[in-house]
Chains A and B, each alone.
Chain A
Amino acid sequence: MGTSLEAENEALKRRISELEAELANRSNHTEAASQQSHPPPPNIANEREVTLSLEEYKRYGRQMILPEIGIEGQMSLKRSRVLIVGAGGLGCPAAAYLAGAGVGTLGIIDHDTVENSNLHRQIIHSTSRVGVPKVVSAITYLRDLNPHPNYVPHVEPLTTENALQIMAGYDLVLDCTDHPAIRYLINDVAVIMNIPIVSASALRTDGQLVVLNNPPSVGPCYRCIWPRPPPAESVVGCGEGGILGPVVGLMGVMQAIEAIKIITKNPVQEVGRTTMTLFAAYGASPFRCLKMRGRKAGCIACGSPERMEEKITRESIEDGRMDYVAFCGGRAGVRVLEGGERISVTEYKKVVDSGVEHLLLDVRDKTQFGICQLEGSLNVPYSEFESSKYEDSEAEAIKSKFEDQPKDRPVYVICRLGNDSQIVTRQLKQAGVFPGDRVFDIKGGIAEWARSGVAGEFPEY
């Protein structure tokens, strides 16, 4: 009994491998035929031999029957090696769809750990994996979704030291990061490695998507479009500006679509105009497609700059001549006040407890003030200090905001993190609104008030 079952089992296994071999053979023929008429896209290494298991035929059937994909497309996906930089709001959905679609090798690089403030948008992480490295958390989810791809974890930041080495193992990179410094680094390395970049970003309720260096040495790169970085103070992250989960999710999903198009492109993409897709969730027409410039002849990354010593090379990245953080101006905290002009949340708590009459001025915007506020605080948003026109007498404009306030009491200024409040403190002092210089900034803002637990439980957001 046992032996007959075993024999049957063996026979079936043999039959399966015969069929798989036959299928692989057939698809290789198709592949060869298609290669004759259409050269393969650069860098998608067609020579890597792959086969699909019967389980995979079933798994990918719904996308394989699309003429845009077909068996050739599925094989290209399986041969492809995609690197996702950043396992956050963009990287999560992009990774899920690419893993699901059957990308052969999926590398993910991120140095962060999962926090519960990530979970409204970083949908492949989970509450039970808070504190776990994002890369590990992501791969846990992805393996369960599709065990076939080769998942490569890189639990480290992408830096000038490791970028060339890491990116050398991939045919395509998805820029799912959150700061211009790393976006320039990804760009420069991708240009050197001849790999296309699918770049997306999102903030608040808006998103942007652009495919760069595609095809390599034809399409414009990040530096062609943005030769100079924005001033550091204009760079706002999701933590400060806020982000609607599905907005960044949508952009990540669109990155997966563009990646699939690049990987399965057959024939090679015609040299067309690069477009940038803008998404504004609350805009009158949410999607906009913009025609972008082409490659810049004098681009220091992908072109031939007039001064050739400016050209970015493997060496200039490796030996540390390229300082991306300095190039983008870092992201230093605001420091405009002297020590004596600032007090800690603990000191402010003492002021409250002592019952001294004072004014607590909260300069967060109305939305944030609505989420939580300290008792008795007056809300005058920071933007109102910034919107007094230049030609107005600035001092008068600021004074008028406090006409009804008694002027004989100390003033404490608070914001979310302790940056805006310093600037407002400085302005109030310069405008001489409250005589006697008794205006103080509360260090670390509402966030520090909550974190320190100085007044018991207080929401942290």
Chain B
Amino acid sequence: MANPVTEFWRRYRRNGAAVVGLAILCVVVAMALSAPVFFPTNPLRLVGPAELWPLTDARFPLGTDSLGRDIAAQLAHGAGTTLIIGLVASLVATTIGVGIGAAAGYYGGLVDDVLMRFTEIFQTIPNLIFLLALVAVLGPKIEHVVIGIGLISWTSVARLVRAEFMTLREREFVLASRAMGMSDLRIIVTQILPNAIPPVIVLASLIVAGAVLFESALAFLGLSDPNIASWGGLIGEGRLLIRTSWYVCALPGLAILLTVLALNLIGDGLNDVLNPMLKNR
């Protein structure tokens, strides 16, 4: 067996679309990392004439918005916001989902019943309305946005992990661990969880994509943190200018589209590598 990283890459690159996705994501990450270098000042500062079309002024290659703020700077800084919110929200969702799913699948019975009803509650509540209500109640801060998105995204993880645990808990290695006198927590964390993790990684990458969309919708409605440059927020402010300067909406929307697309393609690619048995489904 070769080096696991090269082996992983060899299998991943068989999916051409997934490689394209990874390339797009690399560009977005590069944008986010280089934003403080190329655009060192606050992107929400007024710097030029208002409603300047893209490719008309060399100082503002992508033009300016209704208040004369540089769109290129806002896009570059927005990339970081988008990625961090997406990643952390997915981490929150995965943690909640793994915790609840593992307990429900491992213990079964009454614990399972109660936890699954709890999961159904969050599946039933209209997700974005719940997010709006939560952020409105707690206040429009970035932490609250992240926690809110995590809270509406974990149910699929819980169901997946529960199903995995239900099949794994009867396997011999688990019985052996139990016979050795391992505690339940140790069996769950060190024995079953590592075997259940591959499909969870795939789902987590798809949740990042979903989280990016939720954040953009929230920012578009003007209910996210107003002091942070974000793609959705830029679209929300640009929608009033749709008759004259529709590029203000078009550009950040394209950025969201490409990022979410890239994350979905990467999810597909990871699925091919990590769950090879399901490849042809």
Does chain A bind chain B?
no
